[in-house]
């Protein structure tokens, strides 16, 4: 009997086997079916479900990741990093001592490691001298039926360059019975479009995605394999029954909350900008001969005087990846701006280090709201605000603009009830982010005051004393401005003062509620500008106590 694809290229034993009968996760039933303990484990009493086995593929997690990557849930398998996807592919499709995979070194070494563990052979088509792929040679080498899959890492690790979509699809078309596995671990840092949108159209295409890089979850171990549903069903047979622990699922879901995506985008922009700064500066180092172009969150370097360089790296306690034994190159990851400055100092790049931007991030999740906030006290260019209340967004923008700070704020709140929780909780989160960005407050102005607006006058005084206090004097002629309840104006500043640790005094008079509220928000922004600002080159704490 002729087997349908992909069973026709899978291992016989895998095709014939049944999926391990793991439960699909705890339900409302009385579960006496899995030899579990009926009690929650200490010290996490009250945390739901830790004593019950999770589903092999947690439904909400699969749906969230499918939405993130633009595929259907049945086209996705989630595992412990993209590495587990590689392992499952080898288990399902490669007979030990018979089948092969194809790789293009220098590339991610785990493809070969998994093949060695499985007992599969490895066919290599190396990149050329410019680290470009030889597509005709790849197609020719993968023609034998024993080559079950071709691994293409794009952007490639450790070289950092990318294959074009056209080249990858050419390989898929030329090898219809071979699995073409495209590892997109670094795609978020590239201008190349993901091939995830070809899943369902190109049956032999498999895409690997990870949460370790762009989403900062390397220690959590979460990754996805995107493929035709028939391939997914085969892989689920060899995937362990409970690969995703409940704490892992919860952490990933929180990290990928809709409110957090704006902060991820800001961080991504920063990494790409820092990659350019790092590459441009390293090109001036006496230790660096060549800086290779990169679409990833690292740069590959050809170096000279390696012994002296590594001695300096040890002196600065900086570790980089040494590929000299295989490629004669080294790889430097893109870190935070401060970390990159230290790395550049280790490479002997003599550039005056500027004061680092003061950045604060807060993530706040309750039953009523899910909020992410990122403030940059030294870069006003990054401002994006979305709370679901148009007038309130405009008011927060006033603080950002007049306070001279970048503000990314996103809130998913219970606006179907009213605006109270959204306004209160965003104020608390905003204040906490500002406090984090201020750090020890060395060199700040500490005090600020202002401001008239049309027929309205708002007098604002602020002291970043570390002691919360809020005084608001003013009566509004209406009860709403748009969807914003005017009673929430003084409550906003009270909540802001609470988490920022500031004294905020506002006295407002006027005949128009819109103008009065706007004057308050503008006034607080204008008062914050000198209070948050650095006074000259001072690093002194502006207090006789020596601390704020």
In this structure, whether the domain defined by 359-532 belongs to CATH 3.30.230.40 is answered with yes
- Do residues 487 and 409 make contact, with C-beta atoms less than 8 angstroms apart? no
Q: Identify whether 6 is preceded by a cis peptide bond (ω within 30 of 0).
A: yes
Per-residue pLDDT of the chain (548 residues; tens, 9 = 90+): 578 989 999 998 898 888 766 656 666 676 665 667 666 677 665 567 788 889 999 999 999 999 999 999 999 999 999 999 999 999 999 999 999 999 999 999 999 999 999 999 999 999 998 999 999 999 999 999 999 999 999 999 999 999 999 999 999 999 999 999 999 999 999 999 999 999 999 999 999 999 999 999 999 999 999 999 999 999 999 999 999 999 999 999 999 999 999 999 999 999 999 999 999 999 999 999 999 999 999 999 999 999 999 999 999 999 999 998 877 899 999 999 999 999 999 999 966 556 789 999 999 999 999 999 999 999 998 899 999 999 999 999 999 999 999 999 999 999 999 999 999 999 999 999 999 999 999 888 888 877 666 678 899 999 999 999 999 999 999 999 999 999 999 999 999 999 999 999 999 999 999 999 999 999 999 999 999 998 877 777 877 777 77
CA–CA gap between residue 545 and residue 548 (Å, rounded): 8
User: Domain residue spans in the chain?
Assistant: 56-256, 263-346, 359-532
CA–CA gap between residue 278 and residue 400 (Å, rounded): 29
CATH class of 263-346: alpha beta
Measure CA 33 to chain center: 38
Beta bridge pairs of residue 534: 444
Query: Among 400, 378, 377, 527, which residue's Cα sits nearest to residue 463?
Result: 527
In this prediction the pTM is 0.89
Burial 205-227 (b: 16+ CB within 10 A, else e): bbbbbbbbbbbebeebbbbbbbb
CATH number of 56-256: 3.40.640.10
């Amino acid at each position: 009997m002729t087997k349908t694809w992909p069973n026709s290229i899978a291992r016989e034993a895998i095709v014939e086997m049944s999926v391990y009968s793991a439960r699909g996760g705890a339900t409302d039933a009385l579960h006496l079916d899995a030899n579990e303990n009926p009690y929650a484990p200490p010290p996490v009493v009250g945390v739901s479900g830790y004593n019950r086995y999770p589903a092999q593929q947690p439904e909400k997690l699969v749906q969230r990741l499918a939405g993130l990557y633009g595929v259907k849930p049945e086209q996705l398998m989630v595992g412990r990093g993209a590495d587990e996807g590689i392992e499952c592919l080898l288990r399902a499709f490669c007979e030990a001592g018979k089948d092969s995979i194809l790789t293009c070194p220098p590339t991610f070494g785990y493809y070969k490691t998994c093949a060695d563990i499985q007992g599969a052979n490895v066919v290599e088509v190396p990149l050329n001298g410019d680290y470009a792929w030889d597509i005709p040679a790849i197609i020719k080498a993968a023609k034998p039926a024993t080559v079950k899959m071709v691994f293409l890492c794009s952007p490639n690790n450790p070289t950092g360059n990318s294959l074009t979509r056209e080249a990858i699809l050419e390989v898929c078309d030329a090898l219809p019975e071979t699995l073409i596995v495209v590892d997109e671990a670094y795609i978020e840092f590239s201008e190349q479009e993901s091939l995830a949108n070809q899943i369902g159209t190109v049956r032999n295409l498999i895409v690997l995605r990870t949460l370790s890089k762009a989403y900062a979850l390397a220690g959590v171990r979460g990754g996805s394999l995107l493929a035709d549903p028939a391939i997914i069903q085969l892989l689920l047979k060899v995937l362990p029954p409970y690969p995703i622990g409940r704490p892992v699922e919860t952490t990933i879901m929180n990290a990928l909350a809709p409110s957090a995506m704006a902060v991820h985008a800001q961080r991504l922009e920063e990494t790409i900008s820092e990659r350019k700064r790092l590459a441009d500066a390293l090109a001036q180092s006496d230790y660096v001969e060549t800086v290779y172009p990169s679409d990833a969150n690292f740069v590959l370097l050809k170096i000279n005087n390696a012994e002296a360089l590594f001695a300096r790296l040890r002196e600065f306690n900086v570790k980089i990846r040494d590929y000299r034994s295989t490629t004669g190159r080294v790889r430097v990851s893109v870190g935070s701006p401060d970390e990159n400055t230290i790395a550049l100092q280790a490479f002997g790049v003599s550039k005056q280090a500027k004061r680092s931007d003061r950045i604060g991030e807060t993530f706040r999740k309750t039953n009523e709201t899910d909020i992410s906030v990122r403030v940059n006290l030294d870069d006003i260019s990054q401002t994006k605000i979305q709370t679901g209340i148009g007038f309130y967004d405009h008011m927060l923008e006033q603080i950002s603009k007049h306070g001279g700070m970048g503000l990314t704020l996103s809130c998913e709140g219970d606006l179907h009830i009213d605006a109270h929780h959204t306004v209160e909780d965003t104020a608390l989160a905003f204040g906490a982010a500002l406090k984090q960005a201020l750090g020890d407050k060395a060199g700040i102005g500490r005090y600020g005051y202002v401001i008239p607006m049309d027929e309205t006058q708002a007098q604002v005084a602020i002291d970043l004393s570390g002691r919360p206090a809020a005084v608001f004097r003013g009566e509004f002629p209406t009860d709403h401005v748009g969807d914003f309840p005017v009673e929430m104006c003084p409550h906003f500043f009270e909540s802001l003062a609470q988490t920022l640790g500031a004294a905020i005094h506002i006295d407002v008079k006027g005949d128009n509620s819109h103008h009065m509220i706007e004057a308050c928000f503008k006034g607080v922004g204008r008062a914050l500008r000198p209070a948050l600002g650095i006074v000259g080159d001072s690093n002194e704490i502006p207090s006789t106590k020596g601390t704020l």
